[in-house]
Structure 1
Amino acid sequence: MTTTFRNFIFASCCLALVATGESVAQASKKKAKTAREAVVPTQKGPQVTKNDRQISEALFLDGMKYFMLEDYQQALQLFQKAYTVTPENAALNYKIGETYLQLKEPKTAMPFALAAVNLEKKNPYYYLLLSQLHSEQKQYDAAAQAFNNLLQNVPNSDEYLFNLADLYLAQSQYDNALRTYDRIEKQFGDMEQLHVNRQQIYLRQKKVDKAIAEGEKLLKSNPTEINYYLAQAELYNATQRPDEAIATINKALRLEPNNPFAHLMLSDLSRQKGDLETSNKEVKLAFASSQLDIDTKVRILVDFIRQLPNPQLEPIALELVDLTTQTHPSEAKAYAVAADLQTIVGKKETARNNYIKAVHLDNSHFKIWQQIVLLDAELEQPDSLVKHAEQALELFPNQAVFWFYSGTGHLITKNFTKAVKSLEHGKRLSNGEPELVMQFNMQLGDGYNSLKEFKKSDAAYEEVLTVDANNEHVLNNYSYFLSLRNENLERARQMSERLVKKHPNNPTYLDTHAWVLYRMGNYTEARKYLEQAVAISDDATVVEHYGDVLFKLGKQEEAVSQWQKAKLKGETSAFIDKKIKDKKLYE
């Protein structure tokens, strides 16, 4: 195609746009005016020469090119030049007004839109522009009046009643909107959308009875539209008419027996009436359907979660999460919400496994990874803890919490070098979070002690006690490790004594305090605390310690008897067999 021919086609299109106003039309079926009539309408001022018309037309067409390219400033300059030649051209005034609208200058556009309407009262697009400009300036009554003028002055324009009704509705002028719907119905006859719109207005006006009446009309004219049954049932329920709501839902289910939304609503209605058996049956039917979207299921399950723990709700809640994962096996959120609920009701291992399935589908959620490692720790599965913490670190390398769990897992599995490396790195990331730093120091104290780096261990413990002088983990472990090293025993005694005063029936704390006293040579006092401990606990270490104290007090046979008991109960010191065999104390 040659350039000349292309220009000819473009000019022809522009002339058509001038005639019809289609650049801003909202969709109309009106016939277009001819190009010549639109560009040079009947004039009210002095006669315009043929040359003037040609100049104006050329400028207008050039302006249209820039307008269509969205270069509105350049388009405006050309339109304004054309305006100086033919200021009473309605189409030109319209286009200048429209260009100012595009430049977000509705106030400046207004005189041109008014001029277009006054110059040519039968063009609907001029009124549409005028209404839009009034709306942009929040002059909504004037905008509505522009539509009313359009309807009055433009023949066969009743279709714009819908625009007028929308305008009233947007401004919450409900009575005006209702009157406009009456005009539409009179002109076009009974329409489904009119009943829907009226119903929405009545609901906003809290005229529920009128909304229900409109709903009945909808059902009468659309007896197979299930959504109208559901909406009507909701209205009955909102007006405390549950029996009518249930009857309406049952009609819906006769049309669509497997509709999950109908089953869900019937479940709610049955629960309100106290019929829990039916309620549970209906909600399971809804959840068994893949047509009930995952987001709706999640919202319902979250509501269950808020009500837990509750022995009455737990069985149905657990069934629903199973149904959710069965019907949405590729949705990460299905497994995540199932795990959330299972965690609350104590099914920790199942919950942890569902969280793992969730991250296999979508590994981007930090909180789910955090739940996984927390449950690993609670389940006392350190190998899994290390594995999952390190998987999380590949995704979130700057999240200190995963370094903490990685270090803790290595600490439990006695991989102390890796433990302190992870813990130190996490501690550096935790600057500015004193509580988290304290948690790292607690573990570092244990880790460095196991590596026999006692200065670092003591420093970590002391740092914790500076922040929390009554930290039970540190008071116990620090004092016990000092007693094993036979160092700073008075400091160890003060710490362990503080614990047993606060927790006189804790066998671990009683054993620690007794062992500090033992190291200080106070065997009588040590025996007193160990007797309390063995009365509460059968821990092998506590029983072995009790035998050691008895030996120091000259009770050899009783000591050997306690050592033998300790060996049977579990993990003991490396000397236990030699103690029993030689009936001597080895340390």
Structure 2
Amino acid sequence: MNRKILFCGLLLSGMLLAPAVSRAQEEPDKIALASDKFENNFYEALKQKGIENYDKALLALEVCRAEEPNNPVVYHEMGKNYLALKNYPEAEKAFLKATQLDATNRWYWVGLYDVYYQTQNYNSAIPIVLKLTEWRKEYYQEDLVSLYMYTDQYDKALALINELEETVGHTERREMYKLQILSDNRYNKPEKEAFEEAIKKNPKEESNYLELIYLYSESNEEEKAAKVAEMLQKEIPESDWAQVSLFKFNLNDNKGDEAAKSMFRVLGSDKIDRKIKHRVLNEFLIYTNNNPKYEADLDRAVGYFEDDKEINVPKEVGKFFFTKRNFNQAIHYFQKSLETNADDIETIELLLYSYVEDNNFAELYNVATQYTELYPTHARLYYFAGLASNKQQQFKKAKEWLENGIDFVVEDTELEAGFNRQLGEAYAGLGDEKKKEAYFSKANKLLKPGE
């Protein structure tokens, strides 16, 4: 919890007026001396607290308390110093005393709240926060929601969440809390009935449909959830959120064409969060892997993310197909990725590996040699160029690429062994059996050094 508790020095002059009546009959010089003693020690306490000498600050404040035992400002300052020292029992006593002397000062209650929050005494914190709502209602109601959640008072939390949604709108944290509450069957049924009634009363309020869809989905009532999504689409045809649900239901029912239509509505919407769009694309990607006839739709969908600055979507799709050993599709998406990120060495290597698995050695050679101009000391590019040359029986060319690249191998035993193996293949093709055996032997020793 990040609350900045500010103390205004001007309060001090006001607080010092309080004991003036009781001193009215004293001699003027005695009054001045007493006042000086209080003020000097109070400012000494502030100074010591400022340099984190909390123990010294407390010593000075003890003098102030002896001078003015009913001054709440003193106890407030003592509470802050005890809190800084993590002496929570003393901090609590000091802040409580301050609130008893002046219940109208919000900061005294805030200090007490800090003690309870830091000690995770949430039950004690709740009445304090309820008191604080007298000053800043909406601000402290947000804290109150969290405290109700921490203390498992879900009914109170849910009521307050619903109130705040109506008055100030939605927040991500409250949405998370609400989902947590509604996952509990004790709260599901009443909420479903409430949203069903709300839809009847106001069929044009989109949020009620969305909440009800979620509740039905969470309780595995997918048919009911689908019907609500259809109702939403019928009542509010322009609703993009309806398409999110319909997309999922159509996929589950293996209605690929309908799912694709909903997906494009979602991807083209300005109202729907990018994270949800990524999720929709990911689900359609998995579906396409099992239903290749939708590859063209997938390719079109990936195009919606070409301006994504956070995730290289074509690359991630390429990785998906790579792991599924669908190298033809992997190549397509790695190429697509390199159109906008031409110097991404990881994508370059994944593309080259895909060419190897796809037995496309002509393209492997062209791409590997092309990128040696951009990365002239990247050993793996030379390895792929040599491998591609060997596979095409261009053994002299393979020997040149491999001998040029092997010096760039740094602390990569497997790659070094690969170079030696390919050099052995090149010399075998050139008819040099002696060097062939030497390189094969070296490759084996690198991979099995103990033998």
In the superposition, the TM-score normalised over structure 2's length comes to 0.73
Post-superposition offset of 1:328: 2.8
Preserved CA contact (<8 Å) 1:199 1:211: no
Post-superposition offset of 1:359: 3.2
Q: 2:293 aligns with which of 300, 305, 315?
A: 315
> Would you say 1:113 and 2:95 are equivalent positions?
yes
Post-superposition offset of 1:387: 2.9
SS at match of 2:107: helix
Q: 2:77 aligns with which of 95, 106, 114?
A: 95
| Higher Rg | 1
1:268 is matched with 248
Structure 1 residues 383 and 212: CA distance shift in structure 2, 3 A: same
Structure 2 residue identity aligned to 1:327 = Y
2:353 is matched with 374
Preserved CA contact (<8 Å) 1:169 1:177: yes
Matches within 5 A, 1:218-367: 225-253=205-233, 257=237, 259-273=239-253, 275-289=255-269, 295-306=275-286, 309-310=289-290, 313-316=291-294, 318-331=295-308, 333-340=312-319, 344=324, 346=326, 348=328, 351-362=330-341, 366-367=345-346
Matches of 2:139 and 2:238, distance apart in 1: 41
Structure 2 residue identity aligned to 1:245 = A
Q: 2:191 aligns with which of 211, 226, 251?
A: 211
Preserved CA contact (<8 Å) 2:365 2:385: no
Matches of 1:221 and 1:282, distance apart in 2: 27
Gaps of 5+ in 2: none
Matches within 5 A, 1:326-475: 326-331=303-308, 333-340=312-319, 344=324, 346=326, 348=328, 351-362=330-341, 366-377=345-356, 378-380=359-361, 381-387=363-369, 389-390=371-372, 393=375, 401-409=380-388, 411=390, 412=392, 413=394, 414-425=396-407, 429-431=411-413, 433=414, 436-449=415-428, 454-464=433-443
Gaps of 5+ in 1: 1-21, 26-31, 470-587
Post-superposition offset of 1:54: 4.1
SS at match of 1:420: helix
Preserved CA contact (<8 Å) 1:408 1:419: no
Structure 1 residues 300 and 199: CA distance shift in structure 2, 3 A: closer
Matches of 2:62 and 2:318, distance apart in 1: 71
1:24 is matched with 5
Post-superposition offset of 1:117: 2.5
Structure 1 residue identity aligned to 2:182 = L
Structure 1 residues 302 and 439: CA distance shift in structure 2, 3 A: farther
**Post-superposition CA distance 1:234-275 (Å, at most 9, x none):** 222333444543343345445764544421211212344555
Preserved CA contact (<8 Å) 2:216 2:225: yes
Preserved CA contact (<8 Å) 2:183 2:218: no
1:139 is matched with 121
Structure 1 residue identity aligned to 2:292 = E
Structure 2 residue identity aligned to 1:112 = A
SS at match of 2:92: helix
Structure 1 residues 386 and 155: CA distance shift in structure 2, 3 A: closer
Matches within 5 A, 1:488-499: none
Preserved CA contact (<8 Å) 1:55 1:82: no
Structure 2 residue identity aligned to 1:142 = S
Matches of 2:343 and 2:389, distance apart in 1: 25
Preserved CA contact (<8 Å) 2:409 2:416: yes
Structure 1 residue identity aligned to 2:307 = S
**Post-superposition CA distance 1:432-477 (Å, at most 9, x none):** x4xx4443322021234456765432111234456899xxxxxxxx
- CA RMSD between the two structures: 4.7
Structure 1 residues 440 and 57: CA distance shift in structure 2, 3 A: same
Post-superposition offset of 1:136: 0.7
Preserved CA contact (<8 Å) 1:140 1:171: yes
Matches of 2:209 and 2:360, distance apart in 1: 49
Structure 1 residues 338 and 258: CA distance shift in structure 2, 3 A: farther
Matches of 1:189 and 1:276, distance apart in 2: 36
Preserved CA contact (<8 Å) 1:109 1:133: yes
**Post-superposition CA distance 1:103-132 (Å, at most 9, x none):** 655455333223322332333321221122
Preserved CA contact (<8 Å) 1:335 1:357: yes
Matches of 1:179 and 1:461, distance apart in 2: 71
Matches of 1:333 and 1:189, distance apart in 2: 35
Post-superposition offset of 1:215: 3.8
Query: How many pairs align?
Result: 423
In the superposition, the TM-score normalised over structure 1's length comes to 0.58
Structure 2 residue identity aligned to 1:375 = S
Q: Structure with the greater relative contact order (CA < 8 A, sep ≥ 6): 1 or 2? A: 2
Matches of 1:52 and 1:219, distance apart in 2: 71
Matches of 2:337 and 2:165, distance apart in 1: 54
